[in-house]
Amino acid sequence: MNTYKNYRDHLTNIVSELKEISDPEERLVARHEMVDGSEYVIYHCKNLEVMEYSPNRDEYLELYGPLDLGELVTNKGVDGLLAVIAFCAMIEDIEEMLE
């Protein structure tokens, strides 16, 4: 069963791995790769879980803004939009946990 706890545990595991990387540049690259390869970004049903559990589900607006969303949907479709929303939310969730 998928739960909020599973999502938070997944983030905690990523954060634990990132804390072992001392170089800030390497940490940024690793964070991007870990989130991009996460089941919560890859699978559309998991995208919806991120949107349910993350307090940062609107973080994608910082990157894309409301005017770019139409172009994003045109280029990547709704599934692509869901992946972008999940990716941006997870990045911010992880950043908050690292602070």
Report the distance separating Cα 28 and Cα 14, nearest Å: 12
More confident residue, 81 or 90: 90
Q: Read off the pLDDT band of 4 (50, 70, 90).
A: very high
pLDDT at 63 exceeding the cut of 70 = yes
Provide the mean pLDDT of the chain.
93
- Domain ranges (residues) in the chain: 4-98
| CB atoms near residue 10 (< 10 Å) | 19
Q: What string of DSSP letters covers 44-98?
A: HHHHHHHHHH-TTTTTHHHHHHHHHHHHHHHHHHHHHHHHHHHHHHHHHHHHHHH
CA atoms within 13 A on the CB side of 19: 11
Q: Of 60-64, 84-88, 95-99, give the lowest mean pLDDT range.
A: 60-64
pLDDT at 71 exceeding the cut of 80 = yes
Report the distance separating Cα 15 and Cα 53, nearest Å: 17
34 contacts 72 by C-beta, under 8 angstroms: no
pLDDT at 73: 84
More confident residue, 99 or 36: 36
pTM given for the model? 0.91
